[in-house]
Structure 1
Amino acid sequence: MKKNKKKSKEIKTEEHEQIEEGKDVEIPDRLPILPVRDIVVFPYMILPLFVGRDVSIKAIDKALSSNRLILLVTQKEMDTENPTTNDLHRIGTVGVIMRMLKLPDGRVKILVQGLSKARILKIDESGDHFKAEIEKLDDKKPEEMTIEIEALIRNVKEQLDKAVSLGKTVLPDVMVVIENLDEPGRLADLITSNLGLKTEQAQEILEIEHPVDRLKRVSDLLNHEIELLIVQQRIQSEARGEIDKTQREYFLREQLKAIQKELGDIDERSEEINEFRNKIEEAKMPEKVFREAEKQLSRLGKMHPDSAEAATVRTYLDWLVEIPWSKSTKDNLNIK
């Protein structure tokens, strides 16, 4: 047991040295498959994954016992508990397992780094885990850095800056890396992996082989994201404005009450309002009339007591409460 642990550690160190030195890791034509549910892994991404399915744990064990390489493939449907070969996309990312930790609940936590995209040619379902024959997909670099490509790269970077200024969360360290990237493919992959896109959108970008076409699609998605952020910001601003308006009205009413109290007329006003309110309740008006009376009473409470409009409302309320809404007399139809 100790011997195996030591062997894994040596392989891990060797892989780390290759990655840190920028060397190409030799990727075999056959790898174990790790289906992932709600994320698309891109090359150069480093992320933790929690694995609980037995078939997936077996695939991890197989990878750890050899070269630590595994094919990370996203499921077509997140809710599929036991995916078959038809439930998996045909393009994924080869990753190296950098760390592995067994959890008390039986799950496994791994830290993986994406290395390269790969297409599945054939899946072997025999045994206790899926294996795939793969074809490595390398980015086809443009023959020359044309003005159009340079303009596209600059435009995408500016779009991302605008999205961040509107509230999109991207880590500062990632922004520094993006600012210094001039490869269309890597730039597209790095931005996509940090935008929080839906799984379907991220998988669509992963499957675009030409790096410039991929970056153009990222530009389209960034435009859409900016539009969403602008609308979201406007909605939040309007909501904040309504709250500020309500708070301002409350503050002004409190000031008005303080002024009225200072002038000595608040007690009379309160007494008048309460008297009308009691009369309205005692009148037992129909529902529609009751709502109108409450509305006019609320208006009266906000008016200056000596204004002409206040006098009109006062007269109207007097008339409403004097009508015998709930009183009736017995008709005498005897004409003799």
Structure 2
Amino acid sequence: MTKTKSPVVMPALALRGLTIFPNMLLHFDVGREASIKALDEAMATGQPIFLVAQKEITVETPRAEDLFSIGTISNIRQILRLPGDNVRVMVEGVARGQLAGLCQTAPYLIAEVAEIEAGESVRSSPRTEALIRRTYDLFETYSELAPRMTPDVLLSVLSSDDPGYIADYIAQNIAMRAGDKQAVLEELRPVRRLEKLYQLLRREVEILELEQGMQNKVRESLTQNQKDYFLREQLKVIQQELGEDGGGDSEAAEYREKIARAKLPAEVEEKLRKELGRLEKQPFGSAEATVLRNYLDICLELPWNRKSKERTDVAAARRVLDADHFGLEKVKERILEFLSVKQLAPELKGQVLCLVGPPGVGKTSIAMSVARATNRKLARISLGGIHDEAEIRGHRKTYVGAMPGRIIAGVRQAGSSNPLLLLDEIDKLVSSIHGDPASALLEVLDGEQNSTFRDHFLELPYDLSDVLFITTANTTDTIPRPLLDRMEVIELTSYTDEEKLQIARRHLLPKELRRHGLKKAQLKLTDDAIREIITGYTRESGVRVLERELAALCRKAAMRVVTDGVKSISITGDNLEGYLGVRKYQPERLPGLEQVGVVNGLAWTSVGGELLEVEANVVPGTGKVELTGNLGDVMKESAHAALTYIRSRAAQLGIEQDFYKNKDIHVHFPEGAVPKDGPSAGVAITVAMVSALTNTPVKRCIAMTGEITLRGRVLAIGGLKEKTMAALRSGIKTVLIPADNVKDLEEIDQTVRAALHFVPVEQADAALAEALSLTMSAQGQELAGRAAESRRAEAGLNLKQ
């Protein structure tokens, strides 16, 4: 006789089409809001939850009469939140429970449940043992027939001799109707429960045997169909051998017609006809047939002999380039030269140009203008982050989902065999275990080899010699030397403020007005306002940020036109802050007085030039040299080279011969959060150290750049244009440059050259003389006097201490 404990109040969850038995684990999805709240309450309070099946699964909000009276008291083991409002829960049955009533139905069910005790174990008897054995045999038969029954389920039940547990375990793990499982759950007597399960299990085995019989009949039918198919295929081969083939099916005939119309090279046509023959022999739905169809489709879509008519009119091309871009004279000149030669020598093959410059200076857009000027189809291929050689050469067609590489895909996209292929960000290719994409590009960009470029997917030579390749990069440092050797490098330097003004006035502002639906009369922007945007709201080499700031002004103007009904808005340098807010960048100001040990250096960054202060200080010590300011190894080496040079020239500079023994030198570069490196600060470091050692102030309106050697020679540097623009922006009047860089002054804008006084120096002595207002003839005496004065000041300081 079963016993029940006193009723206990706990959260309840109504199950639809599910039943859980004691001592069993079950996971299922929950979607009803009331059920989720019941789960959350049970988890939060650490209570068990009562799982009871509904009589009708269509009822959304069940009441007591909609639920069976017997369910299972369970513990929640895990809750997993799924996308949307569903959760997946894992529960473990503890004991059967009898529903005494519902205390609450909203917002979730709370039930009064009396736990049904399991009672004492059943005494073993011959009848019970026979029932268990028959159930084992029947369940083993079921396991062999059931498609998803795993061996561990069978082993778990064979290890028990409790008829109640066996009945529960088998009922939980076999596919039965929900009502039959509920009947097993409601049978509280273990032996009767196993008998009921045996009857249900025997019915399920009979159903499975019938299903298997029907599957065998279907399988035999399929085997006969396959036999018929192979016979038909043999008949087709015999007909072909006898010459009775009527031209094949419509698909093969369509491919033959396409191959004939395409006027392909002989080698290509032969290859495609061979692949078509293989396709005809393949079953229609086979994987190999799909691969062959894809191969034929891609090969036939390629423009083997289709060329766009190239425009070689130099004057028309110049008009197009000038209309799209302001400046960039080097690139325009090179393109016009190419077109001029093309007029005289039409057989000239495609060229490879590499546009190198900081972001936003127009590398990608000038390539698009070149395509328009030459009337070539354009295909842009982004190479940034590519680390697999197969992205360039393609995958072999035997692989599932294989496709040609990006080069052939670009030609296919352009639909012309003489397009302009823009290889963007070629400096950002990455070598990996999958190969080196940069090495794969060597054949593509080599004019002597690319006429027979073989893509792994095509397995055919494709002529790329008529393609005009334009590549872009931010720097050549990361481009492998063999690849760089195949390209003609054209450097695009930073725009001057005047160039940015013209670009904004001619191109950017009209473009943004059109994009925002404004007319020219509705937004008037003065030149002073544009200059203020350039200097106070942008800090870049190109014009991308400038374009965004102009777009912001257009948005604000559009809002005033729509909301306030304003007909025209005029923005000047005085009222600009009212639209764009406070200036983001303050103008760089030089120190008011000449200082000892403080020098204006010049640095190149990816967004243009910068004025870089170099500070040096000398204090009594033991000869240590301290270098701070987040410096790289090259810059630190420059500082040590400068110190060695100063030691070798100490007598001529009026510095104590043993200063490196009793003085510590500290060289600091402000803005320590910004990493700094490179050799071009060598001259500035030398001047700062000599200034500090001799107590001589440095001219405030002078800036300098140049690498220094141990012998005091000043070597050439890069980025001169950007550095001189930074000097002009900061109010510098004189710039010391290496004598070897004088040739680069031609590249500097005329307005910058007119505003600055350039002093070429070959030796550090000349830089010291210019920056410290000393000549070499009087230098030793004057510097010695200043050094003695400095020593007296130090001695006086020591006496006071």
- TM-score scaled to structure 1, two decimals? 0.65
What secondary structure does 1:190 align onto?
helix
* Paired amino acid for 1:66: T
Contact 2:76 2:92 in 1 (8 A): yes
Q: Which residue of 1 aligns with 2:133?
A: 154
- The whole-number CA distance in structure 1 between the counterparts of 2:15 and 2:118 is 23
The match for 1:164 among 143, 146, 152 is 143
- The whole-number CA distance in structure 1 between the counterparts of 2:30 and 2:89 is 8
Distance apart, 1:127 and its partner CA: 5.6
Contact 1:31 1:134 in 2 (8 A): yes
Contact 1:140 1:211 in 2 (8 A): no
Distance apart, 1:257 and its partner CA: 6.8
Q: Which residue of 1 aligns with 2:548?
A: none
The match for 1:81 among 60, 71, 79 is 60
- The whole-number CA distance in structure 2 between the counterparts of 1:238 and 1:162 is 21
Distance apart, 1:130 and its partner CA: 2.2
* Paired amino acid for 1:86: E
Q: Which residue of 1 aligns with 2:40?
A: 61
Over the matched positions of the two proteins, sequence identity in percent amounts to 34
- The whole-number CA distance in structure 2 between the counterparts of 1:108 and 1:259 is 62
- The whole-number CA distance in structure 1 between the counterparts of 2:240 and 2:81 is 71
- The whole-number CA distance in structure 1 between the counterparts of 2:6 and 2:40 is 18
- Does 2:228 correspond to 1:249? yes
The match for 2:101 among 116, 122, 127 is 122
Alpha-carbon spacing, 1:29–1:228, altered in 2? closer, same or farther (3 Å): same
Q: Deviations over 1:279-322 (max 9, x none)?
A: xxxxxxxxxxxxxxxxxxxxxxxxxxxxxxxxxxxxxxxxxxxx
The match for 2:49 among 64, 70, 83 is 70
Alpha-carbon spacing, 1:250–1:93, altered in 2? closer, same or farther (3 Å): same
Q: Which residue of 1 aligns with 2:22?
A: 43
Alpha-carbon spacing, 1:254–1:212, altered in 2? closer, same or farther (3 Å): same
- Does 2:211 correspond to 1:232? yes
* Structure 1 stretch displaced more, 199-208 or 81-90: 81-90
- Does 2:24 correspond to 1:31? no
What secondary structure does 2:45 align onto?
coil
* Paired amino acid for 1:235: M
* Paired amino acid for 1:51: V
Contact 1:125 1:131 in 2 (8 A): yes
The structure with higher relative contact order (CA 8 Å, sep 6+) is: 1
Contact 2:34 2:106 in 1 (8 A): no
- The whole-number CA distance in structure 2 between the counterparts of 1:227 and 1:126 is 42
The match for 2:186 among 202, 207, 216 is 207
- The whole-number CA distance in structure 1 between the counterparts of 2:235 and 2:108 is 76
* Paired amino acid for 2:39: I
- The whole-number CA distance in structure 2 between the counterparts of 1:208 and 1:178 is 19
The match for 1:105 among 84, 93, 101 is 84
* Paired amino acid for 1:107: N
The match for 1:92 among 49, 71, 93 is 71
Contact 2:98 2:113 in 1 (8 A): yes
* Structure with the bigger percentage of helix: 1
- TM-score scaled to structure 2, two decimals? 0.28
Contact 2:69 2:98 in 1 (8 A): yes
- The whole-number CA distance in structure 1 between the counterparts of 2:135 and 2:197 is 8
Alpha-carbon spacing, 1:162–1:222, altered in 2? closer, same or farther (3 Å): same
Q: Deviations over 1:232-254 (max 9, x none)?
A: 11111111111222332343455
- The whole-number CA distance in structure 2 between the counterparts of 1:173 and 1:205 is 23
Q: Deviations over 1:77-110 (max 9, x none)?
A: 2222222222111110000012234445233332
Contact 1:139 1:185 in 2 (8 A): no
- The whole-number CA distance in structure 2 between the counterparts of 1:102 and 1:259 is 63
Alpha-carbon spacing, 1:237–1:27, altered in 2? closer, same or farther (3 Å): farther
- The whole-number CA distance in structure 1 between the counterparts of 2:161 and 2:192 is 15
What secondary structure does 1:118 align onto?
strand
Contact 1:60 1:70 in 2 (8 A): yes
Q: Deviations over 1:106-137 (max 9, x none)?
A: 33332211111111112212663322222222
Aligned pairs, number: 242
Alpha-carbon spacing, 1:53–1:242, altered in 2? closer, same or farther (3 Å): closer
What secondary structure does 1:32 align onto?
strand
Q: Deviations over 1:125-173 (max 9, x none)?
A: 2663322222222334565200111111111111111111123422322
- The whole-number CA distance in structure 2 between the counterparts of 1:63 and 1:27 is 20
The match for 2:115 among 136, 141, 147 is 136
Contact 1:139 1:211 in 2 (8 A): no
Alpha-carbon spacing, 1:49–1:229, altered in 2? closer, same or farther (3 Å): closer
Q: Which residue of 2 aligns with 1:328?
A: none
- The whole-number CA distance in structure 2 between the counterparts of 1:258 and 1:110 is 60
- The whole-number CA distance in structure 2 between the counterparts of 1:171 and 1:140 is 31
- The whole-number CA distance in structure 1 between the counterparts of 2:129 and 2:75 is 32
What secondary structure does 2:149 align onto?
coil
Unaligned runs of 5+ in 2: 247-801
- The whole-number CA distance in structure 1 between the counterparts of 2:133 and 2:188 is 21
- The whole-number CA distance in structure 1 between the counterparts of 2:194 and 2:181 is 12
* Paired amino acid for 1:38: G
Q: Following superposition of structure 1 onto structure 2, how do residues 289-304 of structure 1 map, counting pairs within 5 Å?
A: none
Alpha-carbon spacing, 1:254–1:79, altered in 2? closer, same or farther (3 Å): same
- The whole-number CA distance in structure 1 between the counterparts of 2:52 and 2:179 is 13
CA-atom RMSD in angstroms? 2.7
Alpha-carbon spacing, 1:82–1:58, altered in 2? closer, same or farther (3 Å): same
Alpha-carbon spacing, 1:251–1:58, altered in 2? closer, same or farther (3 Å): closer
Contact 1:153 1:182 in 2 (8 A): yes
Contact 2:171 2:181 in 1 (8 A): yes
Alpha-carbon spacing, 1:261–1:126, altered in 2? closer, same or farther (3 Å): closer
* Paired amino acid for 2:197: V
* Paired amino acid for 1:188: A
